[in-house]
Structure formats: structure tokens, C-alpha cells
């Protein structure tokens, strides 16, 4: 393994910002995996470190580049964004070597991840729990790679605005296979989900031919497009009490949770599933405003 | 709101004789009280003289009240930049709905004016921004009592900003974020009133200033606005102020090392002109923007 400093940026009052990449193996095929673009999304950081410890003991046929943390300054302080000037690194792509700090970091990160297959790992927001999922375009090589990862959800979707200005969009612009992996909740470490993501990444490396592990295939619960996913929003503000958790199977009409008055607790609204499916997103922070996303239920495969 | 109280986004409507409808929007970000104050000053003048009006003026003095109440840029809770939510969605959560409602509200206005302050890290000269292709807005901006009219090419996020939703929107800004500067507030207020006069909404007689006192702006495109960035990280100490005249190569500030205080970089003007914006927040990283210099002389074409 090579622990390489990819980029440095001097910073007032502290040691310079340092972007580190862990490199394994040589030659092709090439895979790059990134986490911690958002400083409070920690499941991916742990997952990449688990992958690193597996790769240290493996014989590789190809090259794997792991970047477990991009936004180290944000991670130090528990913030999603780059804390100086409060910028989102994941909206600074394709970056600029002469631009602002986040643009320089974005540019250096793109340079450091010149691989045939690229993965960017995130958590949900600190307020929301997400099933481990690979988000990919509707068609193309990514779909097969996502299925090979065997995470509980494969979500085939048209790229959204955030993806387009972010790292995944910049990779796709380059024409390589780019996967956007999301799992768990921001600002927490979920060991089971981190392991699930790490296993998915190892299956991906096997699928690409870099590894020859005999891994058990993962269990895909949902393989959906946007039409197969029901979004449930709050009609009123109040105190949200979930009745199910991410990964649960529910029947049509099943009670997903209730909104109650903050003072007194009287029932304001019941939220029920409109179809049978798997709970893939759950609002975990109880204070909600009107029209906020509470639950997503996806039709099972 | 979860606890049952409501947050209202206020529209103040002034209706006069038949005429065009103008929408004035301020406070899309919560750290721009300068725009909010200008909206209030314009409203109070219209209130005194609404019988002399031709047309309708709708003023939205503060469209992000939850952020303004905390002096922060973003809509709280999800920390969302309201100025990246446009055109919004009716079925979305609160900031998306505010964006949607505002987009619909201004849809049939003859003219839209957005009032901003500056980013809190900077001090800025009074300036108007228009889209490069909106020549009608650029012509109108000449009357906005600003030092510079900047016709900008759209950046990658332009489509999700308020100013992009309605053609010929005029964006006025100046001063510093989270601060009120008396001179800037007066300049922008007079600018808005003068624009209303040019649009035929306000008669000459009630303008509280003489038209000849209106600043004649410099009209520029992106090619005449130079950004100055830090090479080293440290503390930036400006030695010149906003709208100072500079020659190419003049020292406009320095960067000192943050813990020992030794000077590590001299910052010079990249071109001759005036300082359009100057960084006030001293902590900088390599690449942080320190100043904008606008070229005053018109370049001869070869
Ligand atoms: Zn993220």
C-alpha cells in the first residue's frame, strides 16, 4: 500500500490541509473510491478503512485508490461543509487549480481519481436515515456494477441537480462509470451499515476483476426507478414519531408513523403506506415542518 | 411551524393609477439586512405618496425571515440556500414553496428588482448585476444610482437563483453582509426610486433628490472585473478601501502569517481601476478571494 499526499493547502492557525490517498496494486483495471466529501458523513469513512484493511492482505489484479476523507477540516469540526467560508466541496466541481480553496480541492480530487470505475460514498442528512443504496443512471454499465455490489437498494434514476455539479457528475462527464452510494445517517457511525457498504465495495472490486474473493452475493431488496418509490411528506408541522424503521417490509395501509402536537401530544396526522414495499428512507429527527420528507417506501424486487 | 406558530412572508402592495407592475424583493438570504432596509425606505416613501403613483409596486421586504431572525445566510434546519431553490416546487418543503410562490408572484411583473447586501466577508461598492444578454435591464440599471453595472455571464448555479427566473431582473447590492452602512442604504434607496421614476411609476415631483445627483455608472462585462486571490494562507490586512482608485501593481494589502504575524505576501492590484469589493474577514486560505478590481478605462479594440 502506498499512502500518498495528493494535495496540500496551507491554512492559517493550523497544519496545512492534506488530501491523502491510499493506493493498492498496479496496472488495470482501475477503481477509485471516495468518502468524506461531506465532513459529517462518517459511515463511508469507516467503510473505506474496512476496505483498506481487507486490501492490505489481498493480491490485487489492478489498482484501487481509496480516499477515505476529503473534507478533513469539516470532519474535525463535525460540519458537512468546508468550514472556512461555509462552502460545499460537492458543489465545486469540476474545480479550478487557481480558484477558491474548495475549487482547488475539487480539482485535485478529480486529478487523483482517474479510474475506469469511480464510487462516491455519502450518508443521509443527520436528520434522515437511508437504506444502503447505489444510485446509478437508468441504463449503462453502472447498473450492472450496482447490482453486483448487492446493497439492499439499487436506485436507477435520472441524475439530479446536485449530482450534476458534484463529484459524480464530474466523473460521468469524463465518461467513466460513476456510482453514488448513500447509507445511514449523517453525524453518526452505524457499524452495520458501514460493514454493508464495505462488503458492497469488495463485491464491486471482485466484479471488476481487481479481486478474486469468493464473496457471498448481497441481498437486494429493492431495484427501482423513481416510479417504484413512494414519497410521504408531512402535511403539518409537529412531533414525528416513526412506527417502522429502515429495512422493514410493510403492507399497503401499514402505519408508518404519526405527527403529534409538540405540547400535549395529541394526534395531528397518521402517515400510512400507499403500497406494499420496503422502508428505504426514514426521518429520524422528530421535529418536522409542513411538507417535509418523512418516509420513502420502495416496491420490492 | 412544528410548535403551531406561523411565519409570515409579507408583501406590501402600493396601487396607483393604471400602469406597470414592479416587484421589489429583498432578504432572500438572511444575512443581507441592507436590502431589507432599502425595501422599507422605499415602502415608506410610497406610502406617503401612493396617490401620485402610476402602476403597482409590490414590495417583499424579507422573504427569508427565519434566517434573517438569526442573521444567517441560509434557511435554518436543513441549512438550505434559498437562492439555490428557484423556481421552487409547490409540493416541496418550506423553502421550495417560498421559492415557488415568489416565482409565481413576480411572473407577470413588468420589472423585477432584487435587493441584496454583500457577502459578510466583503465590503462592496453599490453595484447592479444584470444578465449579459439582458440589454434592457442594463439600460435601466444606468439609472440605479450605482457605481458599476456589471453584465455577467451565468455561472453553473444561475438557473436556481431568483434573479434568473424573470427576464431583465435588476439585482442591486452593496455594503457588507449583516451590517447597515448609511451611505450605501441611501444610495440604493435613491437608486430604486429613480428606477421607479424612469419606469413612469413615480413622478419627478416626489423624488426626494435631484435627478442630476444620480451616479453615472461604469458599464462593464466579466472581462473588466478582475478577481484578486490569496496565494498564501494567513490573515489578510487590506490597505485600501472600497472604490479607491488604483494603478496596476499598487499595493492593496498584505497577508501575514497567522500565529507569528510576519508578512508573507504582498497583494497588488492586477489592473488599473477601482476597488469594487474588498475582503473584510481576515482569515484566508490559498485561493480565497481578497478583492475585485474593476477596470475603469475602456480598452481600445485592436
Ligand atoms: Zn453527502
Residues A10 and A81 in one domain: yes
Partners of residue B254 in chain A, C-beta under 8 Å: none
Candidate from A86, A287, A290 with C-beta closest to B94? A290
Residue B80's pLDDT band, with cuts at 50, 70 and 90, is confident
CA neighbours closer than 13 Å in the CB half-sphere of residue B139? 7
Determine the Cα–Cα distance for residues B19 and B14; give it in Å rounded to an integer. 12
> What does B173-228 look like in DSSP terms, one character per residue?
EEEETT---HHHHHHHHHHHHHHHHHTTSS-GGG-SS-GGGSPPPEEEEGGGEEEE
Q: Tell me the β-bridge partners of B26.
A: B115
Residue A286: CB partners within 8 Å, gap ≥ 6?
A239, A240, A241
- State how far residue A268 is from chain B, nearest Cα, in angstroms: 11
For residue range A135-186, what is the model confidence (pLDDT) as tens digits?
A: 999 999 999 999 999 999 999 998 766 677 899 999 999 999 999 999 999 9
Last residue of a domain, one of A196, A220, A244: A220
What's residue B4's pLDDT? 76
Distance B75 CA to ligand 1 centre (A): 18
Supply the CATH number for residue A252's domain: 2.40.50.100
pLDDT value of position B299? 55
Dihedrals phi, psi of B117, to nearest 5 degrees:
-105, -165
Two domains, one topology: B12-216 and B223-295: no
Q: Is A15 on the interface with B (CB under 8 A)?
A: no
Contact B91 A291 (CB under 8 A): yes
What CATH number is given to the structural domain containing A108? 3.40.630.10
CA dist., res. A164 & res. B77, Å (int) = 24
pLDDT, mean of residues A259-283 = 96
Q: Which of A93, A77, A90 is nearest to A123 (CA)?
A: A90
Of A131, A162, A293, A292, the residue nearest A224 (C-alpha): A131
CB atoms A12 and B235 under 8 Å: yes
One domain for residues A209 and A281: no
Is pLDDT at B77 greater than 80 in this prediction? no
Residues of A in contact with B292 (CB under 8 A): none
Note the pLDDT of residue B69: 86
Cα-to-centroid distance, A139 and ligand 1 (Å) = 23
Contact A233 B1 (CB under 8 A): no
Cα-to-centroid distance, A161 and ligand 1 (Å) = 14
Q: pLDDT digit string (tens) for A56-110?
A: 999 999 999 999 999 999 999 999 999 887 889 999 999 999 999 999 999 999 9
Q: Chain B partners of A86 at a C-beta cutoff of 8 Å?
A: 73
Q: Please state whether A2 falls in left (phi above 0), alpha (psi between -120 and 50) or beta.
A: beta
- Same domain for A179 and A120: yes
Query: Which residues of A fall within a CB distance of 8 Å from B1?
Result: 237, 289
CA distance A28 to chain B (A): 34
In the predicted model, is pLDDT for residue B155 greater than 90? no
Q: Where are the domains positioned within chain B? A: 12-216, 223-295
ipTM value: 0.72
Fold held by B223-295: OB fold (Dihydrolipoamide Acetyltransferase, E2P) (2.40.50)
Least confident of A147-151, B25-29, B153-157: B153-157
Positive or negative, the Cα torsion across B18, B19, B20, B23?
A: negative
The residues, ordered by sequence, that sit 6+ positions from A203 with a Cβ below 8 Å of its Cβ are A148, A149, A150, A215, A217, A218
Q: Number of residue pairs across A and B with CB atoms under 8 Å?
A: 86
Name the helix (H) or strand (E) containing B129. Answer: strand B122-131
| Distance, CA of B110 to chain centre | 20
Neighboring chain A residues of B93 at a CB cutoff of 8 Å: 233, 289-293
Residue A95's pLDDT is: 95
Do residue A81 and residue A9 come from a single domain? yes
The grid coordinates listed for B139 are: 439600460
What pLDDT does A161 receive?
Answer: 65
A101/B283 touch (CB, cutoff 8 Å), yes or no:
no
Residues A239 and A190 in one domain: no
Distance of alpha carbon B42 from alpha carbon B44, whole angstroms: 6
Give bridge partners of residue A10 from the DSSP assignment: none
Range of the domain at A161: 2-220
Runs of H (alpha helix) within chain B: 33-48, 65-68, 94-105, 135-141, 182-198
- For B12-216, the fitting CATH number among 3.30.300.20, 3.40.630.10, 3.40.1080.10, 1.10.10.10 is 3.40.630.10
Number of domains in chain A: 2
HEC string of A158-194 equals CCCHHHHHCHHHHHHHHCCEEEEEEEECCCCCCHHHH
Look at B77 and A125 and tell me if their CB atoms are within 8 Å: no
Distance (Å) from CA A273 to ligand 1 centroid: 27
pLDDT by residue (tens digit) across B273-292? Answer: 999 999 999 999 999 999 99
Domain boundary among A220, A244, A268: A220
Distance CA B96, CA B211 (A): 40
Chain B residues with CB under 8 Å of A163 CB are: none
* pLDDT > 60? residue A237: yes
Of the candidates B3, B92, B234, the beta carbon closest to that of A12 is on: B234
Selected for mutation to probe chain A from B256, B287, B290 (highest A CB count within 10 Å) is B287
C-beta separation of B56 from B131 below 8 A:
no
DSSP secondary structure string for all residues of B276-287: EEEE-S-EE-TT
Question: Does A149 lie in the same domain as A17?
Answer: yes
Query: Would an 8 Å CB–CB cutoff place A103 in contact with chain B?
Result: yes
CB < 8 Å to A99, chain B: 229, 287
Same domain, yes or no: A181 and A108: yes
Q: In this structure, which long-range contacts are made by residues B265-273, counting pairs with CB atoms below 8 Å and at least 24 apart in sequence?
A: B265/B230, B265/B231, B265/B232, B265/B234, B267/B228, B267/B230, B267/B236, B267/B291, B269/B228, B269/B293, B270/B226, B270/B228, B271/B226, B271/B295, B272/B246, B272/B247, B272/B248, B272/B296, B272/B297, B273/B224, B273/B226, B273/B245, B273/B246, B273/B297
Cβ contacts (< 8 Å) between A239 and chain B: which residues?
Answer: 2
Q: Are residues A184 and A36 in the same domain?
A: yes
A81 and A152 assigned to the same domain: yes
Which residue in chain B has the smallest CA separation from A262? B3
Residues A121 and A269 in one domain: no
Q: What is the pLDDT of residues B206-240, one digit of tens each?
A: 899 888 899 999 999 999 999 999 999 899 999 99
Residue B236 CB-density burial (10 A; 0-12 exposed, 13-18 middle, 19+ buried): buried
Inter-chain residue contact A288 with B2, CB threshold 8 Å: yes
Q: How far apart are CA A121 and CA A138, in angstroms?
A: 19
Show the cell assigned to A105: 480541492
The answer to whether residues A81 and A50 belong to one domain is yes
Integer Cα distance of A298 and B41 in angstroms? 52
**pLDDT tens digit string along A12-70?**
888 899 999 999 999 999 999 999 999 999 999 999 999 999 999 999 999 999 999 99
End-to-end CA distance of chain B: 61
State the best of A12, A170, A293 to mutate against chain B, taking most chain B CBs within 10 Å. A12
User: Do A187 and A276 reside in the same domain of the chain?
Assistant: no
pLDDT above 90 as % of chain B: 76
Among A267-281, B60-74, B96-110, B158-172, the minimum mean pLDDT is found in B60-74
Amino acid at each position: 500500500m502506498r499512502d500518498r499526499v495528493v494535495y496540500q493547502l496551507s491554512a492559517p492557525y493550523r497544519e496545512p490541509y492534506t488530501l491523502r490517498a491510499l493506493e493498492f496494486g498496479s496496472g488495470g483495471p482501475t477503481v477509485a473510491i471516495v468518502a468524506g466529501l461531506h465532513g459529517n458523513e462518517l459511515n463511508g469513512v469507516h467503510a473505506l478503512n474496512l476496505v483498506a484493511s481487507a486490501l492490505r492482505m489481498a493480491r490485487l489484479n489492478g489498482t484501487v485508490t481509496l480516499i477515505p476523507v476529503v473534507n478533513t477540516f469539516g470532519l474535525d469540526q463535525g460540519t458537512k461543509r468546508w468550514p472556512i467560508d461555509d462552502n460545499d466541496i460537492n458543489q465545486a466541481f469540476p474545480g479550478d487549480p487557481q480558484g477558491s480553496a474548495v475549487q482547488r480541492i475539487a480539482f485535485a480530487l478529480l486529478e487523483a481519481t482517474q479510474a475506469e470505475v469511480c464510487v462516491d460514498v455519502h450518508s443521509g442528512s443527520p436528520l434522515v436515515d437511508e437504506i444502503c443504496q447505489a444510485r446509478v443512471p437508468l441504463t449503462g454499465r453502472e447498473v450492472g456494477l450496482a447490482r453486483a455490489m448487492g446493497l439492499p437498494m439499487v436506485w436507477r434514476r435520472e441524475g439530479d441537480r446536485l449530482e450534476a455539479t458534484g463529484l459524480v457528475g464530474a466523473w460521468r462527464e469524463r465518461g467513466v462509470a460513476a456510482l453514488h452510494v448513500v447509507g445511514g445517517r449523517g453525524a453518526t457511525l452505524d457499524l452495520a451499515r458501514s460493514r454493508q457498504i464495505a462488503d458492497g465495495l469488495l463485491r464491486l472490486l471482485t466484479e471488476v476483476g481487481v479481486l478474486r474473493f469468493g464473496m457471498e452475493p448481497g441481498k437486494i431488496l429493492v431495484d427501482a426507478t423513481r416510479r417504484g418509490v413512494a414519497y410521504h411528506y408531512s402535511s403539518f408541522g409537529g412531533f414525528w414519531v416513526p412506527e417502522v424503521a429502515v429495512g422493514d417490509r410493510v403492507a399497503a395501509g401499514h402505519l408508518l408513523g404519526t405527527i403529534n402536537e409538540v405540547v400535549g401530544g395529541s394526534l395531528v396526522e397518521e402517515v400510512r403506506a400507499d403500497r406494499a414495499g420496503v422502508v428505504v428512507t426514514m426521518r429520524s429527527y422528530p421535529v418536522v415542518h409542513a411538507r417535509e420528507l418523512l418516509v420513502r417506501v420502495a416496491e420490492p424486487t | 411551524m412544528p410548535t403551531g406558530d406561523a411565519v409570515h412572508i409579507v408583501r406590501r402592495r402600493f396601487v396607483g393609477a393604471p400602469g406597470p407592475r414592479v416587484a421589489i424583493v429583498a432578504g432572500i438570504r438572511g444575512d443581507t439586512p441592507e436590502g431589507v432596509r432599502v425595501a422599507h425606505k422605499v415602502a415608506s416613501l410610497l406610502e406617503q405618496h401612493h396617490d401620485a403613483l402610476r402602476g403597482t409596486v409590490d414590495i417583499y421586504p424579507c422573504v427569508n425571515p427565519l434566517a434573517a431572525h438569526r442573521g444567517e445566510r441560509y434557511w435554518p434546519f436543513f441549512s438550505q440556500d434559498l437562492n439555490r431553490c428557484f423556481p421552487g416546487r409547490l409540493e416541496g418543503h418550506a423553502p421550495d414553496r417560498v421559492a415557488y410562490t415568489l416565482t409565481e408572484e413576480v411572473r407577470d411583473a413588468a420589472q423585477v428588482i432584487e435587493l441584496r447586501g454583500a457577502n459578510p466577508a466583503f465590503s462592496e461598492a453599490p453595484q447592479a448585476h444584470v444578465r449579459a444578454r439582458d440589454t434592457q435591464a442594463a439600460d435601466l440599471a444606468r439609472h440605479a444610482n450605482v457605481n458599476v453595472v456589471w453584465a455577467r455571464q451565468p455561472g453553473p448555479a444561475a438557473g436556481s437563483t431568483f434573479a434568473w427566473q424573470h427576464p431583465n431582473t435588476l439585482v442591486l447590492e452593496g455594503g457588507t453582509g449583516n451590517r447597515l452602512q448609511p451611505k450605501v442604504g441611501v444610495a440604493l434607496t435613491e437608486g430604486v426610486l429613480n428606477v421607479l421614476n424612469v419606469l413612469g411609476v413615480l413622478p419627478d415631483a416626489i423624488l426626494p433628490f435631484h435627478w442630476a445627483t444620480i451616479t453615472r455608472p461604469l458599464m462593464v462585462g466579466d472581462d473588466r472585473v478582475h478577481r484578486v486571490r490569496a496565494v498564501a494562507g494567513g490573515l489578510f490586512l487590506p490597505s485600501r478601501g472600497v472604490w479607491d482608485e488604483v494603478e496596476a501593481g499598487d499595493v492593496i494589502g498584505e497577508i501575514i502569517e497567522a500565529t507569528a504575524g510576519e508578512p508573507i505576501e504582498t497583494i497588488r492590484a492586477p489592473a488599473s481601476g477601482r476597488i469594487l469589493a474588498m475582503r473584510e474577514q481576515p482569515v484566508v486560505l490559498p485561493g480565497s478571494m481578497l478583492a475585485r478590481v474593476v477596470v475603469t478605462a475602456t480598452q481600445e479594440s485592436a
